[in-house]
Amino acid sequence: MVPERLQPLLDETAPLAERFAAAGHRLYLVGGSVRDAILGQSLDGRDLDFTTDARPDAIEAVLRGWADALWDQGRRFGTIGAKKDGREYEITTHRAEAYTPDSRKPDVAFADQVEADLARRDFTVNAMALAVEPGATAAELIDPFDGLADLAGYRLRTPLSPDESFTDDPLRMLRAARFIAGYGLLPDPGLVDAVRRLRGRLEIVSPERIRGELDKLMVVEDPSDGLWFLVNTGLSDEFLPELSGLSLEQDPIHRHKDVLAHTIAVVQKTSPDKILRLAALLHDIGKPKTRSIGPGGVSFHHHEVVGARMADTRLRALRYPMDEIADITRLVELHLRFHGFGTGWSDSAVRRYARDAGPLLEKLNELTRCDCTTRNKRRADELARRMDVLEERIAVLREQEELDSIRPDLDGNQIMEQLGIGPSRAVGQARDFLLELRLEEGPLGEDEARRRLADWWESQPASPNR
Distance between CA 341 and CA 335 in Å, rounded?
13
Q: Based on the domain organization, do 224 and 328 belong to the same domain?
A: no
The predicted pLDDT at position 71 comes to 92
Q: Based on the domain organization, do 373 and 322 belong to the same domain?
A: yes
- CATH classification of the domain holding 82: 3.30.460.10
Distance between CA 269 and CA 272 in Å, rounded?
9
- Cα 269 to Cα 256, 265, 334, 366: the distances in Å are 20, 6, 18, 9
The predicted pLDDT at position 204 comes to 92
Domain that holds residue 188: 154-239
In a domain, 317, yes or no: yes
Q: Based on the domain organization, do 331 and 400 belong to the same domain?
A: yes
Q: Residue 241: what are its φ and ψ, rounded to 5°?
A: -60, -20
In a domain, 279, yes or no: yes
Please, what is the Cα angle at 175 between 122 and 144, to 5 degrees?
20
Q: Based on the domain organization, do 82 and 161 belong to the same domain?
A: no
In a domain, 92, yes or no: yes
In a domain, 251, yes or no: no
In a domain, 115, yes or no: yes
The predicted pLDDT at position 252 comes to 44
Written as tens digits, the pLDDT of the chain (466 aa) is: 556 777 777 778 888 889 999 999 999 999 888 898 888 887 776 788 999 999 999 999 999 989 999 998 889 888 999 998 888 999 999 987 655 666 656 667 788 889 989 998 999 999 999 888 776 555 688 999 999 999 999 999 999 999 999 998 999 999 999 999 999 999 999 999 999 999 999 999 999 999 999 999 999 999 999 999 999 999 999 999 999 988 864 544 444 458 899 999 999 999 999 999 999 999 999 988 877 776 666 667 778 889 999 999 999 999 999 999 999 999 999 998 887 666 667 777 888 788 888 889 999 999 999 988 877 788 878 888 888 888 887 787 776 655 555 677 788 788 888 888 888 888 888 887 787 777 777 777 788 888 888 878 888 876 555 5
Q: Based on the domain organization, do 110 and 19 belong to the same domain?
A: yes
Q: Based on the domain organization, do 27 and 137 belong to the same domain?
A: yes
Q: Based on the domain organization, do 112 and 175 belong to the same domain?
A: no
The predicted pLDDT at position 334 comes to 93
Q: Based on the domain organization, do 296 and 190 belong to the same domain?
A: no
In a domain, 223, yes or no: yes
The predicted pLDDT at position 299 comes to 64
Q: Based on the domain organization, do 207 and 343 belong to the same domain?
A: no
Q: Based on the domain organization, do 197 and 180 belong to the same domain?
A: yes
- Overall domain count for the chain: 4
- CATH classification of the domain holding 222: 1.10.110.30
In a domain, 247, yes or no: no
